[in-house]
Structure 1
């Protein structure tokens, strides 16, 4: 009878991978317990290398989008949002380590926030004790301004016209407005963006605007760009052909006018070469009448 050995009380070790040149199959010792908060490494954010420009009153939407993406990538957004709060110390060593780790990581995030703001904004959050407090202050200061800016951008997008710009320049201007609105408020749908573009095209694009409006499926911006650029190229070819025809017609008309003027001049020259004034029929009749009266 085989006796069963009692289970070991030793905690499992972390995942390790071992391989050798003679053995192609590595051996794994798996750790089924997740590491505690105290075992996680502290993360220091390099603002200079990872944020394009510092926060100013006019760049808050762009700055917030970049900083949020950075925190999400490092799994640190919960600190700034306030959803991951500082753990309380229950008197045990492990709890105390978790609390210390949270404070250290939060201070690193707060330092990154301070370093990423312009000198005129830094004093406004300098008294914040946590990253969540600083993040909340910044949103309270500039979120309302961003809402006003979004309304202005939407009005510009509604009223924008192509004018004398090329299709590429016009679409670039529309897309820039839409992207800024998306950063501040929410993304604009493909259908709405298509309507904004079509409303500002002008009468030259009526032929292609009608079938685009009648589509049952949404049109991506890239597809819309290709269609309009192609139609613009068609209009340019048509205009060039029209100008060529007009130039040819004008040249033909001018040539005919020149030939008609030469014929008239030649006719006058022939009449004048017939001789003196008496050689005309009227003069001959008068001459015969005078001779008869004298006779």
Structure 2
């Protein structure tokens, strides 16, 4: 399937596939759902910058010599890029706070990059914030499944910003949050 024809089989509402509204705490889950939606439709390249914007015009040689005319590939690219970015897709899956981050941006790639920079920020303070969250994560009356799920979310967030934890560190974090029993 060619990228320019990809969206014809796509659902009109992203909420059927991406069940989360992007917030400060669920970037990785949202990103995973969104990429899973775009990839089989050959549209992931628009947000990752792998499908470059073609020139808006092209040179055509005819009886009158070389002339410039609108490039149909450019029009297809703009249509798909704007569809991916449209309210029904990326913008339609954002919380109000996330929409403020991308207000005024013009392409799906710009929006995608701004969201990653804001919600998956890589900094020492973000690392400490996640490490503190890990230290404060206690099982205390919750099911083991809920406790492990919260731990995994913190481990994944640390991993996504480049701060890998060894298995031993993860085990220590898990055991630290358990009660004596």
Q: Report TM bin, short chain.
A: 0.5 to 0.7
- Given the superposition, is the C-alpha separation of residues 113 and 197 from structure 1 closer, same or farther in structure 2, using an over 3 Å criterion? closer
1:80-119 alpha-carbon deviations (Å, 9 max, x no partner): 1112111224335xx9332221111111001012211223
Match of 1:55 among 19, 22, 37: 22
Hey, what does 2:159 align to over in structure 1? 185
Which of the pair is proportionally richer in helix? Answer: 1
Mind listing any 5+ residue stretches in structure 2 that lack a counterpart? 61-69
| Structure 1 residue aligned with 2:147 | 173
TM-score with structure 1 length normalisation?
0.45
| SS of corresponding position for 1:90 | strand
Q: Once the 2 structures are TM-superposed, how far is the Cα of residue 132 of structure 1 from its aligned partner?
A: 0.8
Contact 1:146–1:184 (8 Å) recurs in 2: no
Corresponding pairs, count: 165
The CA deviation string for residues 238-270 of structure 1, in whole angstroms up to 9 with x for no partner, is xxxxxxxxxxxxxxxxxxxxxxxxxxxxxxxxx
**Larger RCO (CA under 8 A, 6+ residues apart):** 2
Q: Which residue does the alignment assign to 2:102?
A: 125
- Distance of aligned partners of 1:116 and 1:102 in 2 relative to their CA distance in 1, 3 Å threshold: same
TM-score (norm 2): 0.67
8 A Cα contact 1:154 1:181, kept in partner = no
Cα distance between partner residues in 1 of 2:2 and 2:144 = 54
Distance 1:120 1:102 in 2: 28
Partner of 2:67: none
Map of 2:131 onto structure 1: 154
CA contact (8 A) 2:3 2:42 kept: no
How far did 1:202 drift?
6.2
Q: Does 1:79 align with 2:53?
A: no
**Which residue number in structure 1 is paired with residue 91 of structure 2?**
114
What CA deviation, in whole Å up to 9, does each residue of 1:196-237 have, x standing for no partner?
Answer: 334555666xxxxxxxxxxxxxxxxxxxxxxxxxxxxxxxxx
Structure 2 CA distance, aligned partners of 1:91 and 1:195?
64
Pick closer, same or farther for the CA change 1:65–1:180 going to 2, 3 Å. Answer: farther
- What is the CA distance between 1:158 and its match in structure 2? 4.5
2:139·2:178 contact (CA, 8 Å) conserved in 1? yes
Contact 1:114 1:126 in 2 (8 A): no
Contact in 1 for aligned 2:6/2:43 (Cα 8 Å): no
Unaligned runs of 5+ in 1: 1-34, 205-295
Q: Residue 59 of structure 2: which of 91, 99, 105 is its match? A: 91
